[in-house]
Amino acid sequence: MKKNKKIKRQLQSKSGKNFSEKFINDRHLKLSSKQKKMAHSTNPKNSEVDAYSYMVKELEKLGWIVKNPARIPEGEVYKQNEGLYNLDIKECLVKDMPEGIVKLNEVEFWVIECKRNKEDISKALEEAKFQYAKKINKSKKISCKVISGVAGNDTDGYTVVNQYLNKGHWETILFNDKPKDTLLSKEQVKYLIGNKTINYKEFPDLPEEKYVRSAFKINDVLHNSGMNVNKRARFMAGLILSLSMNKEIDLTIGNTELLVKNINNLIEQKLKEVKKHNFFSFINLEVPPSEENHIKYRQAIIDTLNELQTLDIKNAMASGNDILGKFYQKFLTYGNGAKEIGIVLTPRHITEFAVEVLDIKYNDYILDPCCGTGGFLVSAFDYVKKSANKNQIDKFKNYNLFGIEQDDEVVALALVNMIFRGDGRNNMMNGNCFQKSIVKTKKGDYETGEEKKREGNENKNPVITKLLMNPPFALKKGDEKESNFIDYSLSQVEDGGVLFVIVPISVMIKAQYKKWRSELLKRNTLLSVITFPDDLFYPVSVHTIGVFIKKGIPHDFDNQNVYFAKANSDGFSKKKGVRVFNEDKRNKILEIKEELKAFISSPNLPLKSIPEFKIISKLDKLDEDIELVPEAYLETDYNTLNEEDFKENIRKYLGYLVKEADFEAVEGYMENGQK
């Protein structure tokens, strides 16, 4: 106390009372901290530790081995002073090291500099460029062709800028002509350096596993915030749409209502821009009614935005990946919602397969009556863009694409998914498809379709030429069985139009659907049936097939060929609970794609059958069960099938029949076997 009074007298004599009181108060904080154990600053500075930790975590997620190459042979990242272990780097930089130096190969490196505040991103880049890369590039042994600045913290989020040394000049790295605002994956860096370019378009943006991890992380965030599983899709769609305005969202705002208001303003602006303001009530963020939950809700916004930023979501959406679909699939998986409500989202490679086989053109009219997040519509739009000119694309996206989805929350995702592809004024509708018809009409100079209340079972004035659909699986109530979805879809297609539908294999084989299959063939032509992998919709357990049907022309049993294929391997394998692409695995779907496309156009092409894989065959008129699946027609090459494999096939088939509760078929099979 005596010491404090002495200090006070000295300060009063030199600087006046106000300053001395401030100094003493600060001094008192320091002294009392010894007794109180902890004291907090009212204006703390952010630490570069946040940005450094962010860098390390993101590099690891992107596939880099974040270990010291000098200690671990397979290591690829020198963190902070670990660069001193490399004698060539040490010679260039002495003891002045950035937060990260990534080893691209034995002589090329990537420098990453971190700063604590987002506004310091330019400073981070300048230091990476002049303080580190310039010195390294003076060496005759090593070089630095890529630099990145990372600026921010866990509270405010992060900004990332990447640059590439192109012909002596540092230029910002682009993806689809837009600045790449996340750190780079191994494949991306390899592509940029190998092609000596700063802009890539067709190369995949990020590893699929990165999207999967982020989906689970965001689910954890929303789960821990107490958000209902049915509200998560809406929440995410709104945040992603707000990001598309390319405006900074101030995450330092402490008032949750004000933060949400700012985000909703961005959502509303974007919807007005694309003339979809009527969807605002489906997408806007809603502040919890209880103030006790405001803090958790605000933190959920911050954490989700920060994670979405690591995906470079705007550029990723423009790349052709159905990112929203992938996320929503993980949301449903997390909340066990998919099985309960019957929604099974179609994998991207299957939607692409379908639109390519159907060879969709700019003058086709497309409908998905169970559009979910819009996967088929997205693939159709992307496919048309590859071959059409600007005017044709504009007409197609404004007048030729139609989607119906009964879940309001999912409609919001589908809308956002299409908006990110610049589709302008898509015809997205919410409601029950069985209550709607899309009838032909004219709007200005263009022929298009409009929604009308469905009357009866037929649409007397259809406009749709090609329909793609993956209806909800295993719904037992009323008109929502898969066969009824097929009947409805055919009613919406004009005669000669083609339907592609994914259904459980039971629809085309079980006895209870036999009469329905018979009626189907009396009015329409079966073109092709493809068996998909058993785990295509993993973790939802359902064996599915893809069926191509031509509307309004009775099946000609004597002359019409049907393309059957057992594409039970699609290049994907299960890894850590999810399906990921595996280059080493056979992709039968890819193998048949071009051939099937040609067959759909010209069914009389002389195509070669392969035992146990594919066969081009006429339907068996003597088949009383009318089993319309590849397994009923494929030939077996017994020369390549040993006894154990034969027994295994029998066990699988009987197991399937038991699972489908088709005991009549089991009994018949056993009786025939005994004979």
Rounded CA gap, 278 and 602, in Å? Answer: 44
Q: What is the largest CA-CA distance in the chain?
A: 116
Angle between helices 208-224 and 294-309 (to 10 degrees): 170
User: What's the confidence (pLDDT) of residue 558?
Assistant: 95
Pairing assessment for the beta strands 143-153 and 157-166 based on DSSP bridges = antiparallel
- Residue 388: CB atoms within 10 Å: 17
- Residue 555 backbone phi and psi in degrees, to 5: -70, 130
**Nearest alpha-carbon partner for 203 in 221, 216, 218, 184:** 184
User: What's the confidence (pLDDT) of residue 228?
Assistant: 80
Rounded CA gap, 532 and 505, in Å? Answer: 9
Which superfamily is assigned to 346-557 in CATH? Vaccinia Virus protein VP39 (3.40.50.150)
Q: How long, in residues, is the chain?
A: 675
DSSP string, 300-364: HHHHHHHHHHTTTHHHHHHTT--HHHHHHHHHHHHHTHHHHHT--PPPHHHHHHHHHHTT--TT-
User: What's the confidence (pLDDT) of residue 502?
Assistant: 96
Instruction: Write out the E strands in 376-524.
Output: 401-405, 427-430, 436-443, 446-453, 464-469, 493-504
Pair 409, 231: CB distance under 8 Å: yes
Strand partners, 346: none
Pair 673, 654: CB distance under 8 Å: no
- Residue 529: CB atoms within 10 Å: 24
Rounded CA gap, 426 and 276, in Å? Answer: 9
DSSP-derived letter for residue 388 is S
Pair 347, 326: CB distance under 8 Å: no
Strand partners, 102: 77, 110
User: What's the confidence (pLDDT) of residue 134?
Assistant: 96
Angle between helices 482-492 and 514-523 (to 10 degrees): 10
Rounded CA gap, 344 and 607, in Å? Answer: 33
Angle between helices 588-601 and 348-357 (to 10 degrees): 30
Strand partners, 466: 366, 498
Residue spans of the chain under pLDDT 70: 1-47, 176, 200-209, 312-344, 421-426, 474-480, 636-675
Cα Rg of the chain, angstroms = 31
Domain ranges of the chain: 2-36, 48-203, 209-301+313-319, 346-557, 643-674
**Nearest alpha-carbon partner for 112 in 198, 183, 196:** 183
pLDDT for 498-530, tens place per residue? 999 999 999 999 999 999 999 999 999 999 999
Give the H or E element holding residue 572: strand 572-575
- Among all chains, which residue has been given the structure tokens 């179609």? 346
Rounded CA gap, 405 and 429, in Å? Answer: 7
Pair 446, 399: CB distance under 8 Å: yes
Rounded CA gap, 639 and 662, in Å? Answer: 31
- Among all chains, which residue has been given the structure tokens 């907090």? 40
User: What's the confidence (pLDDT) of residue 180?
Assistant: 81
Give the H or E element holding residue 395: helix 390-399
DSSP-derived letter for residue 598 is H
Rounded CA gap, 560 and 619, in Å? Answer: 8
What's CA 371's distance to the chain center, in Å?
15
- Residue 262: CB atoms within 10 Å: 15
- Residue 645: CB atoms within 10 Å: 10
Rounded CA gap, 372 and 328, in Å? Answer: 10
